[in-house]
Each structure stands twice: as C-alpha cells, then as structure tokens.
C-alpha cells in the first residue's frame, strides 16, 4: 500500500492539520523559516525581536540550515536543503510555539510522544519529518525563492534564519498527529518485538559501561 | 614534479563531484536494497532517495543539505614530488575546500567547538583533516575527498579477547539499533568496523573501512571477508529499514579493517557512511594528467602489510 499524498499550506487551517495521519506524505506551499540553536537562543534567551510577522507570514518552522551562499550583490544561491535532528531543540519549542504560533514543526527524527502530548497537541501543531535522510536536492527544487536571511551577521550562514518560499516542496512524512501519537515510536515498538531473536548468540561485553542498560525498547532520544 | 595549480583545480572539481554525484557502487547497492525492501514506508523512502540522486545530478546541486565535514585523504607513490612541497599541498587543499564551499555551494558546517565561530568556508583549526598514505614506486598523487556526516552512527568500545565474536556481534547490533532508531544514522549505510589498533587507530581504521572501501569490496583475508558478509546479513535482519521504519535495509555493505592491538584487548569501532556516501577520487600525474574515479583503492596489500620489510617487485608488476 503506498502512502497518501497531501498538499498543505505553510499557514494551514486547523481542519487540515487535524486531518493528517501518521505516515501521510506532505508537500508544502508558502513561506517557511529555518530555526536551529542560534535562532532560539537569540529570540528566546537574548529576547531579540523576531524579524518576521509570525504566524501571519508563516506557521512552518524548519529545523534546517541549507547548503547556500549569499552572493556579493546580495542575492541568494540555495542548493540543497536538509533537516537536522530535532530532539535538541525540544527545550526551546514550548516557548517558541507560544511566541510564534508555529503549527508545523519540520525536522529530522521527530520528538517524543511526551513532547507531542505536552506542547504540540495543546497548540494544535503537527511534526513533519523530512525523508531519507536526506532528499536535499528534491527539497531544494521546491524552493521557489529565498525571500530573506535574518541574523546572518550575528549567527553565520548555517545558524541564520532563512525565509524560503516553497512551491510543492517535499516530500515530508507526518510523524505526529492530533492525538500526539508518534510515528517513530510506533515503528520502534514493532521492531523491538523482533530484537531478542536477532540478539540470539551474542553476549554482553565483559567490561560494562557505567549506567549501561540492556532495555532495547528504550527510546534513545 | 606535480604542478600545484593542477592539484588545486582538481581538488575543487573533486569537492563538487563528491557533493553532487552519488558513487555508482553505492547507487547499485541501494538499488539492490530497494528491490527487496517490502516495508511500505521504508520503500517509499528508498524510492525518494533514488529520485534525489537523479535530481542532484540534473540540477548540479548537492544531494544533501548537510554536506558533512569535508576531509582529504592523500596518497602518493614513493617517487612523487610536489611543486612547493607539502606545505603548498596543504594550502591548495584548504583553498579548494573554501572555494568549493562557496562555489557548489556546500553548507559551512565547520565551527569552533566552544565559540561556534564560523568562517563560512569549512576551514578552521584542524579542518579540513588531511591524512596521508604512501605506496612503493610511482610518481603520482591520489586526492580523495570524503564528505561524511558528522553527528550520528559512530561508536567505540574496548572489548577483550574473552568477548569473542559473540561480543563483537553484540556491540555491532547495539550500534546499529541505537543509531538506526528514527533513522539518525541515515541508513541504509556502508558500515565500517575497525578492530584492534589503539583507541585512536581503531577509530581511524573503522572510519576508513566505511569511507575508503566500495560497496561490494572484500577484505583480503578470506575469514574477515566471510565475517563482512555475515554482518551485512545480520544487520539487514534486524527488521529495521530507512528512517528506522519497519523494513530490511540497514546495511548496504559491511567493511571490516583490522590492526594489531594490545595483547589483552580487542578494540572495536563502528561507523556509518550514510545515504549520501560522498567520496570522489583523482590521480594526478607529473605530466599533468588527471584521472577521476570513485574507488579510493586505499587498502592495498602495502597498507595492510604485517612484515618488517616490504618486497617491492610484486607492486611494480602491477603498475
């Protein structure tokens, strides 16, 4: 069975978000902005003014820094676009969602169902995962235009806030739903059932590591 | 004498090729994995990746937005002389890295570990790494660039002889499952395993096994080659595929390299070269000829030698 494919606005209606199911494939239209460590630190810890009108202009927060350059004439060259692992940003996201009204959090690897239930569901937000990883060239094709790069001088190219106009940009996979269920945890649970069989005939290391666990159903993020 | 301007120009071309063109051996390996994958989501992911490689080549854009941490492996024949010497060579490779970061463009990933200073060119303290190897005979230089992702999929453990193959298998599975969950290792990957050496050389061996050997290659020791085949099979029977979804494609190939170690130990490292297994190679000759390829051909009999002296004639016959 091939997955369902959906086109979605980066300023989506709540109805469209509620309709998304784990494993759906999504293509995006509209403005999205990138935000990783530097952006959260600057906006939330240093209380700098966010240089966009959010969520009016965009409700799509992309955990990404592109392979891109700023030309001497100020224009932009964007090649490939791939997400970075999102779990590192979980500590900033509740405050960010409150401030920015973000509805689509896009990244790599997702977050925990605990995160989804505690601050995604109350804010009506959904997590979209990039595919691969990473389909950098395909996503790069979905970039119609780079509208702006904010905080480049303060944060550098890789940490700056890139504002991207997307046209049928994808694929992305729906990795959380309106109930806060987590696609990756669902898959991990299925895989864990089989692990004892694969581990047959192996033996634990003679020298243990401090704090080591053998619980293979552990979530590692 | 190898002209330095040709080295720099070739190095820039290699940076571009590595970032954009998936090596054919990896592509064939992934296609074979896609042919047998039957997990719905895993299959979708592999098909998307196959389309992505085509898009990268058509558009001449990097295949992945995270263009890794570019590094250089340099190998030369014993008679090789470089215009300007080794200092000029290192300067040329650093310039090529910086120029290509802006030119392709690549993501300027390299920053200071504490101050997060970013020169926006992938050059800084110790970056790019430049490692060297030598071969008996010949006047040529092989320039090999590898753009490996830098965050997930690698681990090291001190095992002991009493841990045996069963202990090696356990740590191998632990590494694949831990980093395979949610697809953090960007599998299916070329898994490189280093066994023995000291801690640092064990890491170097494993990384080179992942990055400098091609899909389908085998260790010259038939018993190690048999282990490689067995480990590939084990990795693909975990029940996990691309992105950590239910599936059967974790390992495109498994390469093992060994080094002599302390009599009491059995060091082990595991490395994953991801869905964007980026490597490009060129040999530059003294007359300025350049031959491009994707097989680094790093692990020659000379690199794996275990004797005090080396008999040159066998090598010359192969030239």
Q: What is the pLDDT of residue B227?
A: 98
- d(CA A200, CA A216) in angstroms, rounded, equals 14
Same domain as B114, residue B13: yes
Q: What is the pLDDT of residue B313?
A: 55
Same domain as B133, residue B66: yes
Q: What is the DSSP string of A19-55?
A: T--TT-EEEEEEEEEE--HHHHIIIIIS-PPPSS-TT
Q: What is the pLDDT of residue B314?
A: 52
Q: Which of B274, B11, B119, B121 is nearest to A67 (CA)?
A: B121
Are residues B212 and B144 in contact, defined by beta-carbon separation less than 8 angstroms?
yes
pLDDT in tens, chain B (319 residues): 999 999 999 999 999 999 999 999 999 999 999 999 999 999 999 999 999 999 999 999 999 999 999 999 999 999 999 999 999 999 999 999 999 999 999 999 999 999 999 999 999 999 999 999 999 989 999 999 999 998 898 999 999 999 999 999 999 999 999 999 999 999 999 999 999 999 999 999 999 999 999 999 999 999 999 999 999 999 999 999 999 999 999 999 999 999 999 999 999 999 999 999 999 999 999 999 999 999 999 999 999 999 999 986 555 544 4
Same domain as B168, residue B262: yes
What DSSP character marks residue A206?
Answer: S
Same domain as B269, residue B172: yes
In a domain, B35, yes or no: no
Q: What is the pLDDT of residue A219?
A: 81
Of A68, A138, A204, the CB nearest to B170: A204
Query: How confident is the model over A47-89, as pLDDT tens digits?
Result: 999 999 999 999 999 999 888 899 999 899 889 999 999 999 9
The phi and psi torsions of A149 (rounded to 5 degrees) equal -125, 115
Of A133, A136, A205, the CB nearest to B157: A205
Kindly identify which residue of chain B lies nearest to residue A110, measuring between CA atoms.
B182
Q: Kindly state the helix (H) or strand (E) to which residue B4 belongs, with its residue range.
A: helix B4-20
**Domains defined for chain A, CATH in brackets:** 5-184 (3.20.130.10)
Are residues A100 and A112 in contact, defined by beta-carbon separation less than 8 angstroms?
no
In a domain, B45, yes or no: no
Q: Which of A55, A62, A14, A12 is nearest to A36 (CA)?
A: A62
Q: How far is CA A198 from the centre of its chain?
A: 31
- d(CA B25, CA B44) in angstroms, rounded, equals 21
Q: What is the DSSP string of B121-177?
A: SS-BTTBS-EEEEEESS-SEEEEEEEEE--SSS-EEEEE-GGGHHHHHHHHHHHHHH
Same domain as B86, residue B11: yes
Q: Do B66 and A136 touch (CB under 8 A)?
A: yes
Are residues B211 and B199 in contact, defined by beta-carbon separation less than 8 angstroms?
no
CB–CB contacts below 8 A, A to B: 209
Say whether pLDDT at A9 is over 50.
yes
Q: Which of B119, B128, B120 is nearest to B90 (CA)?
A: B128
Contacts of A131 in chain B (CB under 8 A): 44-45, 48-49, 243
Are residues B29 and B13 in contact, defined by beta-carbon separation less than 8 angstroms?
no
Same domain as B221, residue B251: yes
Same domain as B219, residue B174: yes
A202 in reach of chain B (CB within 8 A): yes
- d(CA B258, CA B267) in angstroms, rounded, equals 10
Average pLDDT over residues A6-27: 98
Query: How confident is the model over B222-247, as pLDDT tens digits?
Result: 999 999 999 999 999 999 999 999 99
Would you call B236 exposed, middle or buried from its count of C-beta atoms within 10 A (0-12, 13-18, 19+)? buried
Count the domains in chain B.
Answer: 2
Same domain as B288, residue B243: no
Are residues A214 and B171 in contact, defined by beta-carbon separation less than 8 angstroms?
no
Same domain as B271, residue B211: yes
Are residues B147 and B212 in contact, defined by beta-carbon separation less than 8 angstroms?
no
Q: Which residues, 6+ apart, have CB-to-CB distance to A216 below 8 Å?
A: A192, A195, A196, A199, B177
In a domain, B306, yes or no: yes
Of A77, A131, A134, the CB nearest to B105: A77
Strands (E), chain B: 69-77, 130-135, 140-148, 155-159, 189-196, 251-259, 266-273, 278-285, 290-293
Contacts of B53 in chain A (CB under 8 A): 137
Q: In degrees, to the nearest 5, what angle opens at C-alpha A55 toward C-alphas A50 and A131?
A: 95
Same domain as B258, residue B190: yes
Contacts of B109 in chain A (CB under 8 A): 158
- How many CB atoms neighbour CB B13 within 10 A? 18
- The boundaries of the domain holding residue B235 are 151-277
Q: Do B52 and A173 touch (CB under 8 A)?
A: no
Same domain as B78, residue B187: no
Of B41, B65, B182, the CB nearest to A221: B182
Are residues B235 and B255 in contact, defined by beta-carbon separation less than 8 angstroms?
no
Kindly identify which residue of chain A lies nearest to residue B167, measuring between CA atoms.
A203
Q: Kindly state the helix (H) or strand (E) to which residue A188 belongs, with its residue range.
A: helix A183-198
What DSSP character marks residue B185?
Answer: T
Are residues B231 and B250 in contact, defined by beta-carbon separation less than 8 angstroms?
no
Are residues A187 and A109 in contact, defined by beta-carbon separation less than 8 angstroms?
no
Q: Do A184 and B244 touch (CB under 8 A)?
A: yes
Contacts of A109 in chain B (CB under 8 A): 182-184
Same domain as B161, residue B267: yes
Q: What is the pLDDT of residue B319?
A: 47
Which has more confidence, A16 or B311? A16
Are residues B172 and B231 in contact, defined by beta-carbon separation less than 8 angstroms?
yes
In a domain, B47, yes or no: no
In a domain, B254, yes or no: yes
For residue B60, is it left (φ>0), alpha (ψ between -120 and 50) or beta?
A: left
- How many CB atoms neighbour CB B133 within 10 A? 18
Are residues A149 and A195 in contact, defined by beta-carbon separation less than 8 angstroms?
no
Helix (H, G, I), strand (E, B) or coil at A155: helix
Query: How confident is the model over A84-114, as pLDDT tens digits?
Result: 999 999 999 999 999 999 999 999 999 999 9
């Amino acid at each position: 069975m091939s997955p369902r494919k959906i086109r979605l606005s980066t300023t989506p209606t709540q109805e469209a978000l509620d309709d998304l199911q784990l494993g759906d494939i999504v293509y995006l239209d509209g403005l999205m902005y990138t935000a990783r460590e530097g952006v959260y630190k600057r906006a939330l810890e240093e209380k700098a003014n966010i240089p966009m009108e959010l969520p009016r202009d965009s409700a799509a927060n992309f955990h990404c820094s592109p392979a891109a350059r700023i030309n001497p004439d100020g224009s932009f060259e964007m090649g490939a676009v791939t997400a970075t692992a999102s779990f590192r940003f979980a500590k900033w996201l509740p405050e960010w969602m409150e401030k920015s009204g973000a509805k689509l959090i896009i990244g790599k690897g997702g977050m925990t169902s605990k995160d989804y239930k505690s601050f995604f569901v109350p804010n009506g937000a959904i997590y979209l995962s990039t595919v691969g990883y990473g389909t950098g060239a395909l996503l790069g094709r979905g970039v119609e235009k780079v509208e702006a790069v904010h905080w480049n001088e303060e944060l550098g190219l890789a940490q700056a806030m890139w504002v991207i106009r997307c046209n049928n940009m994808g694929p992305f996979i729906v990795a959380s739903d309106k109930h806060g269920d987590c696609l990756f945890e669902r898959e991990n649970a299925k895989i864990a059932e089989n692990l004892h069989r694969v581990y047959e005939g192996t033996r634990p290391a003679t020298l243990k590591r401090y704090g080591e666990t053998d619980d293979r159903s552990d979530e590692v993020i | 004498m190898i002209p330095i301007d040709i080295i720099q120009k070739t190095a820039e071309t290699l940076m571009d090729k590595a970032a954009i063109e998936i090596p054919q051996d990896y592509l064939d390996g992934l296609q074979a994995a896609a042919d047998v994958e039957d997990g719905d989501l895993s299959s979708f992911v592999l098909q998307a990746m196959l389309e992505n490689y085509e898009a990268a080549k058509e558009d001449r854009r990097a295949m992945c937005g995270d263009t890794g941490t570019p590094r250089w492996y340099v190998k030369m024949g014993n008679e090789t002389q470089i215009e300007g010497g080794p200092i000029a060579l290192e300067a040329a490779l650093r310039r090529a890295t910086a120029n290509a970061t802006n030119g392709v463009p690549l993501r300027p990933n390299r920053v200071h570990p504490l101050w997060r200073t970013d020169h926006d060119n992938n050059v800084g303290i110790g970056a790019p790494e430049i490692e060297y190897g030598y071969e008996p005979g010949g006047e040529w230089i092989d320039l090999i660039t590898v753009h490996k992702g830098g965050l997930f999929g690698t681990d090291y453990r001190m095992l002991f002889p009493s841990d045996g193959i069963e202990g090696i298998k356990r740590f191998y599975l632990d590494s694949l499952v831990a980093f395979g969950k949610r697809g953090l290792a960007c599998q299916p990957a070329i898994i490189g395993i280093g066994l023995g050496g000291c801690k640092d050389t064990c890491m170097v061996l494993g990384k080179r096994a992942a990055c400098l050997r091609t899909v389908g290659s085998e260790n010259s020791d038939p018993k190690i080659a048999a282990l490689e085949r067995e480990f590939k099979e084990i990795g693909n029977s975990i029940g996990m595929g691309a992105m950590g979804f239910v599936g059967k494609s974790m390992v495109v190939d498994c390469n093992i390299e060994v080094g002599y170690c302390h009599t009491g130990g059995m060091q082990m490292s595991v490395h994953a070269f991801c869905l964007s297994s980026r490597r490009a190679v060129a040999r530059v000759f003294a007359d300025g000829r350049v031959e491009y390829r994707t097989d680094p051909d790093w692990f020659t009999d000379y690199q794996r030698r275990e004797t005090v002296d080396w008999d040159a004639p066998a090598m010359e016959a192969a030239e």
